[in-house]
Amino acid sequence: MLFNSFVFLFAFLPAALLIHWLVERFKPEWRLPVLLALSLLFYSYWDWRFAPLLVGSIVVNWLIAQAFTRSGRDVLIPLAIAVNLLVLGFFKYFNFFADFVDVIPGIRAPHFDIALPLGISFFTFHHIMYLTDLRAGKAPRYDLVRYGLYIAFFPQVLAGPLVRWSEIMHQFDERPYQRRDAEERFSRGLMLLVIGLAKKVFLGDQLAEYTNPIFAAAAAGQALDMGEALQGALGFTFQVYFDFSGYTDMALGLGLLFGIVLPQNFDVPYRATSLADLWRRWHMTLSRFLRDYLYIPLGGSRRGLAVQLGALLATMTLGGLWHGAGWNFLVWGALQGIGLIIIVLWRKAGLSMPSLLGWFLTFTFFALTLVIFRAETLAVAGNFYRALLGFGADGFTMKWRALAVGAAIAMIGPTAWTFVHTLPPRRWIAALFAILFLVVLFKIGDDANYEFIYFQF
């Protein structure tokens, strides 16, 4: 059930809001079980066969958490985390690692046609965050319904943001429609939903039409000219931003509609003046997860320069592999790690850089490495780089209008969250958002809906 689909906008969402309001109004003690049931129904709509996996992971991890709090046996938490990672590895990486085994002469590893359960990476990481903090004495024990809702809350279960238990659990006990700012929250949630839809439909999907044919031609072995390669590289750079930040805006807006404030995930990343700054602004919840649950446990910056650089490279390489089972993701992550290592060494040497030059180098590096991220193989990426260097086909063919609009909005404008929270309560503003929503609906009805990019991760 896509957020940008009629079945969600005109069936599931209105019904869920009505049921949630009635329960919150007349049976508030049922609110959390109903929200959990709605979330599981939303998840099951994609493929009911994956619902038992989500439910099973919730129940098993909750039982292990209960056993740990009762017995205090430290081995339970690492065991649970290992099992979570093994399940993720089986569904997401089994065939990838089987290809490594096939390289050994005389050995043929089995390969399975395994469908990747939607959201498995995200709900696995939610389990890991809670269990790790539980073992460290930071997280309390919760009942099964609250824990299940933390894992499965439908606005964020498929593609984030990654929400720490401490950011959301206390909100479950509130009466959201009894708050003094309930109407304001609800209206700003609607605005965020409309803005996210507009970013996805008018920018992300439009840029996909700029980008997909070029990557398809490169994958087919066709030589690209420099303009086509530049269009494909820049097109995907802005497409992935508007696609994922649009989803995040919708998730944050939906959260507000149900009385939950989810953490922000983007902070105008394409205005960053260094790669480290970009990763503090891009997919912020994943960056914090990698920092707190991987980089710091690997040594971080407290055990000397060599350990710090090794931890950076390992963290970003694994972060790249998290996005998918492919060499392109592995190489892309390693390149991000190398870029961050260069920044650390640059700063250790006491060197500085003008902000404008830092922005240009950061954006160029990120856009060029995203070619590897988007390309299905390293050979396809090589096809792009040859064309960008002038060794492709003759000519310079480039569509630029959508790129220019995307660049202006991504680099100049504020985040959607900041924008809607600075708008005053005016009827004409509500009318403009209603008109924008109608235009979005006409666009959805006219065009094929693209799945969100991060659903595949």
Catalytic residues: 323
User: Rounded to an integer, what distance in angstroms lies between the CA atom of residue 326 and that of residue 105?
Assistant: 22
What residue spans of 282-351 are helical by DSSP H?
A: 284-290, 305-322, 327-348
For residue 101, how many other CB atoms are within 10 A of its CB? 11
CA distances (Å), origin 68, targets 63, 64, 65, 158: 9, 6, 5, 28
User: Rounded to an integer, what distance in angstroms lies between the CA atom of residue 206 and that of residue 407?
Assistant: 13
Burial class of residue 352 in the structure, from the number of CB atoms within 10 Å of its CB (0-12 exposed, 13-18 middle, 19+ buried): exposed
Spatial CA neighbour of 118 closest among 31, 38, 45:
45
Spatial CA neighbour of 335 closest among 378, 298, 303, 272:
378
DSSP 46-95: H-GGGHHHHHHHHHHHHHHHHHHHHH--TTHHHHHHHHHHHHHHHHHHHH
Buried b (16+ CB within 10 A) or exposed e, 26-46: eeeeebbebbbbbbbbbbbeb
User: Rounded to an integer, what distance in angstroms lies between the CA atom of residue 238 and that of residue 406?
Assistant: 6
CA distances (Å), origin 7, targets 2, 110, 441: 8, 39, 12
CA distances (Å), origin 404, targets 95, 235, 398: 40, 10, 12
Contacts 24+ apart (CB under 8 A), 290-297: 290/315, 290/316, 290/318, 290/319, 291/315, 293/128, 293/129, 293/132, 294/318, 294/319
Structure tokens at 286: 């994943």
Residue 69 neighbours by CB under 8 Å, 6+ apart: 134, 141
The answer to whether 118 and 348 are in contact (CB under 8 A) is no
